[in-house]
Amino acid sequence: MPRRRDLLGMTILAGVGAVALWPRPHVAEAETAATANFPVTHTDAEWRKLLSPAAYEILRQQGTEFPYSSPLDRETRAGTYSCLGCGQNAYSSATKYDSHTGWPSFWQPLPGAIGERLDTSFGVERTEVHCARCGGHLGHVFPDGPPPTGLRYCMNGAALSFQPA
């Protein structure tokens, strides 16, 4: 039985990884239009220079990191999580919790820190979360979180920085 469970776990992880890396050709056009009205803007070439390849893929191309790959998922100190693209404070450690999904999760963002938009990639409707200041993709929000909001802001650790209190 343990071997079957391990094989099932590896199969699920491979599936999640394949979905995360699935090419999305429509992203470039959507990105140009979507970020035109944010206070912080850069050209694509400037973003590539400012961000690591992993952060660029997530923040500017709406990518997703592999689950359990970010040290921020395991971060437990008090502090603030900010958008890696522009430094906008986005989440307080007071609202962080372990969702057991492999991504840093929060039940509430800081006031005015994020925006949301419909994401229909992969043939499903989800709510994408982006930085209100630069439009960088941070993750998604789901209605299966803990009280008091019942929401799970499932963020990509590679799109965030952490400043201890």
When divided into structural domains, the chain yields a total of 1
What does the alpha-carbon distance between residue 104 and residue 50 come to, in Å, rounded to a whole number?
Answer: 23
Q: Is residue 12, in this structure, part of any structural domain at all? A: no
Q: Say what the pLDDT of residue 48 is.
A: 97
Residue range(s) defining the domain that contains residue 136: 24-164
91 found inside a domain:
yes
- Residue 154 among the catalytic residues: yes
Question: DSSP H helical segments within 51-96, as ranges?
Answer: 53-59
d(CA 100, CA 79): 21
Q: What is the mean pLDDT of each run of 10 residues along the chain (165 residues)?
A: 58 54 43 65 96 96 95 97 97 97 98 95 91 97 97 98 97
Cα–Cα distance, 102 to 69 (Å, whole number): 7
Which residue among 83, 131, 134, 154 is the active-site one?
154
Q: 0.85 cut: is pTM over it?
A: no
pLDDT at 122: 80
The answer to the question of residue 3 being in a domain is no
What pLDDT does residue 21 have? Answer: 47
* pLDDT for the residue 63: 94
- The whole-number pLDDT of residue 8 equals 54
pLDDT recorded at residue 121: 84
Q: Is residue 74 part of a domain?
A: yes
- 4, part of any domain: no
